[in-house]
Amino acid sequence: MPNYPMELLICSGTGCVGNGSLELIKAFREELKKQKLESKIKIAPSSCHGLCGNGPVILVQPDNIYYQNVTLNDVKDIVNTHCLKGEALIRLMPKEAVKNENIPKLKEIGFFSKQRLVALYNRGVIDPESIDEYIARGGYKGAARALIHMKSEEIIEEIIAAGLRGRGGAGFPTGVKWGLCAKSESDEKYIICNCDEGDPGAFMDRSIMESDPHSVLEGMLIGAKAMGAREGFIYIRSEYPLAIKHFQKAIDDANEYGLLGKDIMNSGTDFKLSIYRGAGAFVCGEETSLIHSLEGVLPEPHGRPPYPAVSGYMGKPTNINNTETWSNVPHILRQGAKWFASIGTEKSKGTKVFSLVGKVKNTGLIEVPMGITLREIVFDIGGGVPNGKKFKAVQTGGPSGGCLPKSLLDISVDYESLQEAGSIMGSGGMIVMDEDTCMVELARYFLSFSLEESCGKCTPCREGTRHMHDILTAITAGEGKEGDIELLEEMGELIKETALCGLGKTAPNPVLTTIKHFRHEYEAHIRDHKCPAKACKNLIKFEVIKENCTGCTLCAKSCPVSAIRGEPKKIHEIDQSICVKCGICRSVCRFNAIGVD
């Protein structure tokens, strides 16, 4: 491969592609060709950089300069000013990182400053479709060590010593789980990567699959040797076409390089891998449901025992780990258990990948050491809450997690601390909320998701969540009554105790934690028929603030139901009997003349 003096690594993840990064790559190549610079500057698609909300993003190497929100209009300027003159474009850098005209390097940008990359080790620096670039960064060294120099039990001991826990939500020790499968005697064993990521706002697994598929493949190859499996499956939802494309390319290349198939690395290990596309049911994230789906039957969970390690796919011993768990494995085998265990806390080792979304300035994919605080994630990495609004809460663990208030911002982000606070780590979804978020409506929304996605097999989940949802709907509509809060608490605890699978057991978490930390909002809805956040339509009304109204008529022209009346340059009025409370009038008013009561 030619050695280029300069490289422009342009993100080709889903977020940036949606914002036009592929067109950007094409435009850069055309400009370089026009200026006859193809031999001096390399334009390369790269894996996800993480700052998804500001795409397309570009990393210029070896300068280590980061640009965001790049458009086609910036192409000539970057080539002529930065590439040819060596002058970085401050206007394309994060504003908060530019101080006194000093050019910030990547690690000096707040979003990247406190991150530590393990699962996302190759983030933004390799072409996800290039096996050669993965190998050049140390790829498959861990597999070589495991397949050639280690016995199966030694690999498992290494994973146990590292303290790696399952990143899919439950946090069960990965090495222990592998050991159970390894001890099960059978002529056939299977391993599965669970990439059925269905949490609202979550995209950790998708990004890893898109950006670094070989890390997952290598992790599964190591696991296959450790557990004695000769076949594996990638269970991935069909909504992830780019991830599927990149992983299939990784499988094809690994087969061509002799890293899959028969007698891999002359070690005597045989392993084949294939992709199974799921239809996008949230319940398939639960491992016994996933196995049933893989077998072609109705994806419903079953009681345990037997555990999949004893009787899983086709009745054979089966091990399932999620995408992030598998992607950690090669690094442990390459750098050692002691290195991995030195990161994180005493009981929660390593790092965790989160999708940071919601009411936060810097939305995207992050990887942080276990033990970091919520405050550091939201304010140092996330940049805080935008538009001058106040932080209210953060939801961890997706629809199965809980809402943590401002008073818990300094909590350590690890399995034990989050569980003690009434939430969970989950697979890594993290949603930030500001003062305009109604916590009752939020709980209703998350419960509606769990209700919709319930497989319906067990009564507590099927009927219990429906009753809880009906109560929450009534409360947000101003029809709540005394005793509803206590009934929600009672039903939530009962469902947690009696539901069949983990998804049903955790479905009440958003309700129970919002009652615990924001009970006053529930009481305001029920007793005062008021929504403190002014978000529930049935409990608010829009009114004209007379002293601010200039009679510009913009609100009246924008109202979809003609509920606003008034002559030009005179105070307007809103007909409450017609108003549908859409809020358009408030959003278009330039004089802050529309209030909400």
Instruction: Read off the pLDDT of residues 130-163 as tens digits, 9 standing for 90 and up.
Output: 999 999 999 999 999 999 999 999 999 999 999 9
- What does pLDDT average to over the chain? 94
Fold classification of 439-528 is de novo design (two linked rop proteins) (1.20.1440)
User: How many degrees, rounded to 5, is the angle at CA 52 between CA 51 and CA 54?
Assistant: 75
Domain 6-113 has CATH 3.40.30.10: yes
The radius of gyration computed from the CA coordinates of the chain, to the nearest angstrom, equals 26
Give the fold, CATH level 3, of 541-596.
Alpha-Beta Plaits (3.30.70)
Whether 244 shows a pLDDT value over 50: the answer reads yes
Q: Which two tokens stand for residue 85?
A: 């003159």
> Distances from the Cα of 106 to the Cαs of 51, 66, 79, 98, 113, in angstroms?
12, 6, 20, 12, 8
- Beta strand 58-61 with 6-11 is antiparallel
User: Would 131-341 and 351-434 be classified into the same CATH topology?
Assistant: no
| pLDDT attached to residue 1 | 45
Which of 40-44, 231-235, 371-375 has the weakest average pLDDT? 40-44
What is the C-alpha to C-alpha distance for residues 490 and 484, in angstroms, rounded to an integer? 10
| Domain boundary assignment for the chain | 6-113, 131-341, 351-434, 439-528, 541-596
Residue 2 has pLDDT above 80, yes or no: no
The residues near 574 (Cβ < 8 Å, ≥ 6 apart) are 541, 542, 543, 544, 563, 564, 585
Other beta carbons within 10 angstroms of residue 202's beta carbon come to 22
In this prediction, residue 281 carries a pLDDT of 84
Summarize pLDDT for 83-101 with one digit per residue, the tens: 999 999 999 998 888 876 7
Task: Encode pLDDT of 171-191 as tens digits.
Answer: 899 999 999 999 999 999 999
Q: Could you tell me which residues come within 8 angstroms of residue 447 by beta carbon, excluding any fewer than 6 positions away?
A: 399, 465, 468, 469, 472, 507, 508, 510, 511
DSSP assignment of 425-448: -TTSEEEEEETT--HHHHHHHHHH
Q: Give 268-277 pLDDT, tens digit per residue.
A: 999 999 999 9
Tokens describing residue 484:
């509803």
Q: Return the residue matching tokens 């998701």.
A: 449
* pLDDT for position 173: 96
Backbone angles phi, psi at 166, to 5 degrees: -60, 125
Phi, psi of 525 (to 5 degrees): -65, -40
Could you tell me which residues are beta bridge partners of residue 101?
Answer: none
CATH of 351-434, one of 3.90.950.10, 3.10.20.600, 3.30.160.270, 3.30.1330.10: 3.10.20.600
Q: Give the model confidence (pLDDT) of 327-382 as tens digits.
A: 999 999 999 999 999 999 999 999 999 999 999 999 999 999 999 999 999 999 99
What CATH superfamily classification does 131-341 receive?
NADH-ubiquinone oxidoreductase 51kDa subunit (3.40.50.11540)
